[in-house]
């Protein structure tokens, strides 16, 4: 009888070295999780995740979560060269891009939350990672803690996503929610958001829609399996939204949200493509996205077979976004322990970005008009001229207190009274609706086009 030698126990896996680039709001929380939850992470991964160091510009600065001084370094390249996994949480284009390229060139896996970089150069970085056989993950780049990118990439991979529409910026949602619920003016709501830490000292990227536009490009990239860039996203911010806009919206049964929208469409000439747009939008109050309050985010997905899906949760903040970073990190670490090629998103379709004029939407147009016979007929004729039809039209006489009188306008009291006319159109091509507004502005019965807002979800 031949004796058998018992199989040797599995050799312990060497620790995986983690390089953290950035120790701001999110980076500090990632450092906390790696430190305080080390045992739990090791059990889930199969080996320890060792924080090799943190790249910062000032090693002596105070941070939300303080590590031993020796872990902070100003030598980003040396830190990247020492790591198995690089977590890029610096933001901005450079040096983030160069450091990610260096990590990929070393064969290291990368996790990033850098939406601006991915929206500008994502396809280039994805291709580099695929060629190197390593992994570039980016769940934290859109909607904070909400797991939206993996479902688009994996869960809906066997379906055809036709539309993605979401509240992708917590700052603007907080501002618009305050304007709607309390009647606050835009400047006051912005100041409140800054005081609470929802808005930066320079809030331009948020309130002008650039942050949401970057996220729209990333969402479209995954939803439609095609490369899109931020410069292919039509973008309007919320700085022109007034208390009067909110009042008109509320009276009509709507709420104003800044939406990022990516949708498949067929252009007039038969070209199949996608329109990507970010702008303030009226939503019926019964729409699921209308109920998203405060600084929360939500993404509404429409697919041919799955139907309508909504993903909701904290869209920003250190701990929620760190959760998304760590989800990617653990997934990569498990692969490194078990072996196998890196998994990186590689767009494989050709879906051209079409101009916003090809989109189909509805408008709410608020017009200041002379209050005299024939006004409604003139407006209706101008709308019909461009093949647009009207859902509803409401005329409200202006009180004397609402009239703006210039000191030099001595004859003003002899003029005919004015009223506000609120029109909501049926869905039509964006270019036809824009032409309708241009024609209305030229009518002699129109004093001013007060506001134009798009309507979705009817």
Structural tokens at position 207: 């309130």
Nearest to 135 by CA among 348, 347, 349, 336: 336
Q: What CA–CA distance (Å, rounded) separates 422 from 137?
A: 47
Q: Strands 109-112, 136-137: parallel, antiparallel or unpaired by DSSP?
A: parallel
Tokens for 52, please give them. Answer: 């090799």
How many other CB atoms sit within 10 Å of the CB of residue 317? 18
Interhelix angle 210-224/115-132, nearest 10 degrees:
30
Q: How many residues does the chain have?
A: 458
3-state DSSP call for residue 373?
coil
Decide if 437 contacts 229 (C-beta within 8 A).
Answer: no
Residue tagged active-site, from 17, 97, 115, 215: 215
- The whole-angstrom separation of Cα 120 and Cα 131 is 19
Helix, strand, or coil (residue 304): coil
Secondary structure of residue 146 in the 3-state scheme:
coil
Pairing of strands 109-112, 85-88: parallel
- Separation of alpha carbons 19 and 27, rounded Å: 11
Q: 215 catalytic, yes or no?
A: yes
Tell me if 218 sits within 8 A of 260, measured CB to CB: no
Q: How far is CA 125 from CA 48, 59, 197, 337, in A?
A: 28, 29, 32, 24
Would you tell me how many other CB atoms lie within 10 Å of the CB of residue 304? 10
Strand partners, 161: 303
Active site residues: 215
């Amino acid at each position: 009888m031949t004796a058998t030698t018992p199989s040797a126990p599995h050799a312990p896996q060497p620790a995986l070295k983690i390089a953290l680039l950035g120790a701001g709001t999110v980076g500090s929380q990632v450092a906390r999780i790696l430190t305080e939850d080390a045992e739990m992470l090791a059990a889930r991964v199969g080996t320890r995740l060792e924080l090799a160091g943190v790249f910062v510009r000032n090693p002596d600065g105070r941070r939300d979560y303080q590590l031993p001084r020796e872990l902070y370094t100003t030598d980003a390249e040396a830190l990247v060269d020492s790591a198995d996994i690089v977590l890029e949480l610096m933001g901005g284009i450079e040096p983030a891009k160069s450091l990610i390229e260096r990590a990929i060139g070393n064969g290291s896996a990368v996790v990033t939350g850098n939406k601006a970089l991915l929206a500008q150069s994502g396809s280039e970085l994805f291709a580099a990672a695929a060629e190197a056989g390593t992994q570039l993950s980016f769940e934290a780049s859109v909607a904070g803690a909400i797991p939206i990118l993996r479902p688009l990439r994996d869960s809906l991979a066997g379906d055809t996503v036709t539309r993605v529409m979401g509240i992708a910026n917590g700052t603007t949602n907080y501002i618009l929610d305050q304007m709607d619920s309390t009647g606050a003016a835009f400047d006051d709501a912005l100041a409140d958001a800054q005081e609470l830490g929802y808005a930066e000292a320079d809030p331009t990227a948020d309130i002008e829609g650039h942050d949401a536009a970057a996220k729209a490009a990333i969402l479209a990239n995954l939803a439609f399996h095609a490369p899109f860039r931020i410069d292919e996203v039509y973008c309007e911010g919320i700085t022109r939204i007034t208390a009067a806009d909110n009042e008109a919206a509320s009276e009509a049964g709507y709420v104003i949200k800044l939406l990022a929208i990516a949708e498949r469409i067929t252009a007039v000439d038969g070209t199949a493509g996608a329109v990507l747009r970010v702008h303030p939008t009226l939503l019926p109050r019964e729409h699921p996205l209308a109920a998203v309050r405060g600084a929360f985010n939500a993404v509404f997905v429409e697919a041919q077979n799955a139907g309508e899906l909504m993903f909701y949760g904290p869209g920003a903040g250190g701990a929620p976004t760190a959760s998304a970073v760590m989800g990617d990190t653990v997934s990569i670490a498990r692969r490194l322990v078990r072996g196998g090629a890196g998994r990186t998103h590689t767009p494989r379709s050709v879906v051209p970005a079409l101009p916003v004029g090809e989109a189909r939407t509805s408008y709410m147009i608020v017009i200041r008009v002379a209050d005299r016979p024939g006004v409604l007929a003139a407006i209706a004729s101008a709308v019909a001229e461009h093949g647009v039809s009207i859902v509803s039209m409401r005329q409200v006489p202006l009180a004397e207190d609402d009239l703006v009188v210039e000191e030099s306008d001595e004859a003003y009291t002899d003029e005919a009274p004015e009223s506000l006319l609120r029109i909501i159109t049926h869905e039509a091509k964006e270019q036809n609706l824009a032409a309708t507004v241009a024609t209305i502005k030229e009518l002699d019965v129109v004093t001013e086009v007060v506001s134009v807002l798009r309507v979705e979800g009817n």
